[in-house]
Each structure stands twice: as structure tokens, then as C-alpha cells.
Chain A
Amino acid sequence: MNIRNMFASAAVLGAITIPMSAVQAQQVPTLLDPTLKLETLVSTGIPIATSMVFINSTDYVVATKSAGKIRLFASGQTPVDLTFDIPASTWTGLAAGNYSALPVNSNSERGLLCVQLHPDFATNKYVYTYATESSTGAASAVVGEVVALGNRVDRWVYDATSKKLVFDMNIIKLQALQPVDSTGGNTTLRGNHNGGIIRFEKKVTGQSAKMFIVIGDNGRRGLMQNLEYGPTTGTTRIADVGSFGPEPDNRALTGVVIRLNDDGTIPTDNPFYNHTLTFSGQTDAGLQNEAVANLKRVYAYGVRNSFGLAIDPFTGKLWESENGDDAMDELNIINKGHNGGWIQFMGPKSRIGEFKSIELAQATVSLGNQNRYPVSNIAATTAVGEARLVNIPGATYGDPIFSWKYCIAPNAIGFINGTGLGAKYNGNLIVGSARGNSGNTAGANAYGVLYRFVPNAARTGLQFADRLLTDKVADNTAKGGLTEQSTVLFGTGFEIVTDVITAPDGSLYVLGMTSAGNGKVFRITTK
């Protein structure tokens, strides 16, 4: 078994089949600080809730993964689903019309994954979504019923009167269909590693707002995965499955954080905007041109898969959670030009031996479900791994600021902005997970916890109440294990946490779901 991510349980639901043996007993969400109060505001009507955002001081919307809906929770009113006003030739299989849901492909980790607002939403009413486009014109959970470049970010205009989102423009279309080859490298269609989080930078007056978008590796094995020559340890260039890559053409622009202006154009201060790489190894001029253009969009690469982005409200820096395969989940600060190291490293590069040994113990061949670059290819030493990194001019490899030795599946992350929960919580990072079993039982799913991390004074890393964590690794002993984590636990029993945000009133909202897929909205305040 190789289940390892936030949708591990929910994905089963998305695929309709629910093996009851896999459904854990429902957990009781509990906060460990007795001075804080936890309320459950919503527990029905938002199945497999993935994302939420406040549209004013009191009202918020919640996106649902498989249903493809965005539900508005307005103060004092009955919740209502927003509709989508979509013109012709915009969404595969859809005629122009006003639809009650986006027809998404929700297989595995696909679906309607994020809803965000433009920083100037109050005036321009721009709403952004990250969704996986079904190829049938109807919602589908079938892995193959997806548009190839089906992970799309779109901009909508919110019509508050008619409670609808009017399509404005597509921002970008990213890889969704993971091709199959016949040579044994990738024989099974998969729907994982889509990332799917959008976050806007702190806006600079007079400049276009800029957004970060994360997409996981989507099963690709190329430059963005630190494989210069494709899925090989050799130095002879080979294209990846489907004859795309290894350069970041449209089908290989994966495992990256993209940074775009609010209209999808490329900011000129992106780290590789002025790159001079020509990717001459690619003989297809069209793919070559795509790769040259796409690299300008990249803010960071070497990202395995992420369900969590957050902007530090005090520094403006981008923070990220990242799922390992079986070993070394990560928290990262994504600086401009960050190379996260995947596939050469997960976790601190100095601990590559543990990364490799755990992956070998869990699966002798597959690394991230992709057999064509097997576990045995992980470098034996840090130095060899470093030598294999793809060093695009302007890039810098960055070790994680924190790792979990065995995966706990970190997902949503969010900062507490203000003193609404008490002074000591101001600026803290809250991280949700999809694993976390106090019994330290390997393989347990949907026992997610909330972590509280306190940034250091410079907010360039973390400080810890337990100095055993100063090595920046929670040395647990099995997947889901909570060894060494007692001082960073904030709450337990939250099952799967998908979003964490500070509300306008200073309280903390946590969006989550049970292992049965029931979305819930929690509110945390002081007693």
C-alpha cells in the first residue's frame, strides 16, 4: 500500500467505492490549549470540502472537491451554492449557460481544489479557482475522463445579486492526464499530485497583484524534478512518458510553484524571467518554445506535491507544506528560485540515507507511483544527490525548515494573523495533517492533527519548545507516528484538514472533513 496524502481516504470516496474497512471511526476534534474554544459551524452540505475564503467581514465560501460547487455561507442566511456562468467553448463539453457546478474530474486528488479572491476583490470582484476539467462535460471520477491540460486556473467575476460567478478568463492550463506508456514505466493511469493551491502575494500599491500556484509533479520525471536527462541516472537525454519533457513544456510543467500576474501574464521579476536556456535537446520546436516560455513562469521547482501554501503576513514570504512518498514530509519557505530537491532529496539533504532506506522498505520499486525512476536510483550519498540537482541559473536548493521522518501527510497551512487567540499565537503557523495516530500505528489514515509552529524572530525558520527538534526533523518511527511532536501539537481528531485561515474577526477557521468525506467548518476562539 502506498497511500500517503491528504485525500487518501477522501479519494476513495471520490472514486465512489468505499471499502468500509478503510473508514476509520470518527474522531473527536479536540484542542490541547484549554483556554481556546472549538465550535463546529458547518457539518453538512459541503462534501469533501477543499478550500474556503471570506468574501467580506462575515461571509465566506467553501469549495467542494467532487461536487465542483462553491457554497456561500452568508451571515443570517441559508447557505446557497453559487452558479457558474460559462460562455461557449470555455469548458469541454459545455454549451454556454449558467451551471450549478463545475464539471470536474475528481479522481484521486483531482477536482475543485481551491477558491481564492483577488486582493482587490472588494472593488473588482475577481474570484479564482483551481479545478480539474472533466473531458465529458459532466462530473466524473473516472481517471481517464480528464482533459490533458485539465488542471486549470480560471478567473471569475462575482455577481453578488444573482449569486453567480461569471467566467472572465483562463489564467493557465496545467497537466492533469498522466500518460501511459507500454514499456512498463507507467502502465496505470493516475490522478494524483495535482497540487491545487492558489495564494496571492501581499499586494504592492501600483503593481499588478501576483499569485502563486502550486502543482505537484503529476507523475512527470524531468527537469522540474531535478532529472536533467529525463527518467534516468544517465546523461543521454530521453523524453518522458508521452514523448513530453524532460524540458518543462506544457505537459511537463509540473512539480513547480508558478508565479503570475492577476491576468495570467508573467511578472518580469520572476526568478527565471530572463533565462537564456534554449533547451536545444528538444527537437520539436513547438515543445521547445513551450519550455522556454514556461520556465519564465516558474518561481520554484523540485516540488513533489503540495496541499498547503500560505503567505507570511509579516514578511510576505511564501511557506509551503509538501508530502513525501513514505519518508520526509516537509515544511518549506519558498524563496525566489527555490529548488526543493525532489526527486533527488526529500527532507534535509544530509539525511538522504534515511530517505532512501525508508522508501526502499516501503516499496522496492515505485517512487511516487512511477516505476521508471525507481527507488534504487536515489543517490547513496548527499554529495551524489547534490551533483544530480538541476541547477538552473538563479535557482538555489533549499533544505526544508522542518521534516517528518515518516510521513504524516501535512496539507493545509495557515498563519494566525493577530492576537485573536491570545498574544502568544500571533504569527504562528498552523499545519493540518491527514495522519497522526497517537498509537503510532503505521498505515492509519484520517487521523489528522493540527500542529502549531512558532517562527523564529527573523521568521526565516522555526523555533521549538522541545530542543530535540532543533535538528528540524520529527524522528517518528512509523507513518503517522507522533514521536517528538508533543510540543508542536495544537489539536487532535481533525481527520483531514484542508484549509486554515484567520477570519476577519481574528478567530481561526479550520476546514476539514471526516474520513467519510463530510466537510466541516470549525471556528477557534478564546473562551
Chain B
Amino acid sequence: MTQRLLALGTLMAIATIGAHAQKTYTSASSFLADAKLSYSDDFTSVADGALASAYTAPGGSGLGFSVNATGGLWSVGGGNISTTNAGSTMTVNFTGNVNMVGGSFWAADMDGAATPGTVTLTFSDGGTYTSSSSSFFGYSNANAWLTSMTLSLDSEYIDSNSFSTYQYGSLDGLTVGQAVPEPGTYAAFALLGTTLGAAVIRRRKLATK
């Protein structure tokens, strides 16, 4: 009986969180304000040129990530991660319990400057986001851990004059986090606590009979 009550309480909590599950941010401060734990890497330690292998962030707060791409990774212009080959999909694998991801994601030309092209972020929970600027973007899912993210784009951006620019998926200031439970979550926890409390009282009453 107690187990059934616990299961019911959990289901109610998920349903409550689910109503606000996925959230996007355009402000880094708002994103961080919602994070209970976070770890950020601005790649200042990455030297320009080809990276020897996949990039693994040092990590912190029990959170971290690694980055890889077919054809390898590249850095240009100081402190960012990009791909060696134009149009190559970049994959970021998260470590720890991550359900928030933020940073700058853009299409860069060979020299690292942003192109007008778009990049598509696809998260392991199925969420997607398309960006055409290097402005901050954040994403969270309150009811599912995120295990990975891909950054994909076309290999060439064709401008209005039909001239082509090779473009490379790029990211900077990558932040992974764990969200502070939302008010709905507190309500669910409260409900769960009330239910559990009632169950304990009932068990005690039964025990005294």
C-alpha cells in the first residue's frame, strides 16, 4: 500500500513538472538563476588550430561534458570550439545529472566569424532549436536528464549573390546545469509529503489496533 501511494505521488509530481518541462532562455543570467548546480567552460585553455582529439571539459559540481565531431575539432580566434570540416555535426555528451544546457552556438566561417547561416541544436530529449546568431541560448527540461546534444548545419551558406561561404558549427561558454525545482515541483513534493505522512499515520494507527 505504501508503495502504491509512493508511486502515485511520483506520478503526480512528474505530471506537474511535465506541464513546465522544457524551457528556453535567451539570457544567461536567467538561465543561471534557474540552476541549482552548474558548470561552465569558456574554452580559454584551448589553443587555436586543430585539437588533438575530442575535447573533454574538466568539469565541476559533478557535471561535465565532452565534445567531438567527425573530422575533428578546431579552434580559431581564441577560446571556442568548432569543427575542422565545414558542415560536420558536432556532438556534446553530458556527464552527471544534467537537465540544463546553455551557451553560444553559431555558424562560423573559416576564420571564426559568424555567418548568416543557421545551426540546429538537437537535444537527447528530442527538443530542437535553430539559431542564426551567437547570442546566448539556454535550454532545460525539468523532467528528463539530458545526455547529449548535437549541433548541425549546412556546409555552405549561399548568399543573395549566389556566393558560397563554408561554415563550421561553433560553440562557446558552454554551461551545463541542474535546474532548481520549479514551484510546481514543490507543490508535487508537498503533495507527496502529505500523502506519505497520512500513510505513516494510518500505519501507526493500524499498528496500535
Contacts and interface: CB of A to CB of B under 8 A. Distances in A.
Interface stretch (B3-11, B83-91, B144-152): B83-91
A466 B69 CA distance: 13
Size bin of chain B's contact surface:
20 to 34
Interface string A173-197: 0000000000000000000000000
Contacts of A425: 164
Given A465-B155, A466-B71, A470-B110, A423 B85 contact: no
Nearest to A471: B49
Nearest to A428: B164
Contact of B164 (A426, A467, A470, A487): A426
Interface of A: 419, 423-428, 454, 456-457, 463-468, 470, 487
Contacts, number: 52
B162 A468 contact: no
Contact of B85 (A424, A457, A463, A467): A467
Given A463-B109, A463-B110, A487-B85, A468 B164 contact: no
Contacts of B84: 466-468
B74 to A, nearest CB: 5
A467 B50 contact: yes
Contacts of B85: 465-467, 487
A470 B77 CA distance: 13
A464 B111 CA distance: 10
B166 A465 contact: yes
A419 B84 CA distance: 28
A466 B88 CA distance: 10
Given A426-B161, A468-B84, 16 more contacts: A419-B162, A424-B156, A424-B162, A426-B163, A427-B163, A428-B164, A454-B166, A456-B110, A457-B163, A463-B109, A463-B165, A464-B166, A465-B156, A466-B84, A467-B76, A468-B50
Which of B76, B84, B109, B166 neighbours the largest number of chain A CB atoms within 10 Å of its CB? B166
B86 A465 contact: yes
Nearest to A456: B110
B158 interface: yes
Interface string B41-80: 0000000001000000000000000000001001010000
Contacts of A465: 85-87, 155-156, 166
Contacts of B105: none
Give the dominant DSSP class at B's interface: loop
Nearest to B161: A426
A463 B50 contact: no
A469 to B, nearest CB: 9
A456 B166 CA distance: 9
A439 to B, nearest CB: 22
Interface in B2-50: 50
Contacts of A487: 85-86
A424 B164 contact: yes
Interface string B109-125: 11000000000000000
20 contacts: A423-B162, A423-B164, A425-B164, A426-B161, A426-B162, A427-B164, A454-B166, A457-B109, A457-B165, A463-B109, A463-B110, A464-B166, A465-B86, A465-B155, A466-B86, A467-B50, A467-B76, A467-B85, A487-B85, A487-B86
B168 interface: yes
A527 B166 CA distance: 24
Nearest to B110: A463
Nearest to B155: A465
Contacts of B162: 419, 423-424, 426-427
Given A424-B156, A424-B158, A467 B168 contact: yes
A325 to B, nearest CB: 30
Contacts of A419: 162
Contacts of B166: 454, 463-465
A424 B50 CA distance: 26
A415 to B, nearest CB: 12
Nearest to B74: A467
A423 B110 contact: no
B19 to A, nearest CB: 45
A126 B86 CA distance: 45
A463 B110 CA distance: 7
Contacts of A470: 110
A16 to B, nearest CB: 46
Contact of B158 (A423, A457, A464): A423
A468 B162 CA distance: 25
B173 to A, nearest CB: 21
Contacts of B164: 423-428, 454
Contacts of A427: 162-164
Contacts of A463: 109-110, 165-166
Which of B76, B155, B163 neighbours the largest number of chain A CB atoms within 10 Å of its CB? B163
Interface string B94-117: 000000000000000110000000
A403 B168 CA distance: 23
Contacts of B50: 467-468
Contacts of A423: 158, 162, 164
A457 B163 CA distance: 8
A172 to B, nearest CB: 36
B112 to A, nearest CB: 10
Nearest to A427: B163
Which of B155, B161, B164, B166 neighbours the largest number of chain A CB atoms within 10 Å of its CB? B164
Contacts of B87: 465
A464 B163 contact: no
Contacts of A456: 110
Nearest to A466: B85
B156 A464 contact: no
A427 B86 CA distance: 19
Contacts of B163: 426-427, 457
A456 B84 CA distance: 17
A464 B155 CA distance: 11
Contacts of B109: 457, 463
A426 B71 CA distance: 26
Contacts of B158: 423-424
A470 B74 CA distance: 11
Contacts of A428: 164
A426 to B, nearest CB: 4
B110 A464 contact: yes
A426 B158 CA distance: 10
Nearest to A454: B164
A468 B87 CA distance: 15
Given A423-B158, A424-B156, A487-B85, A467 B165 contact: no
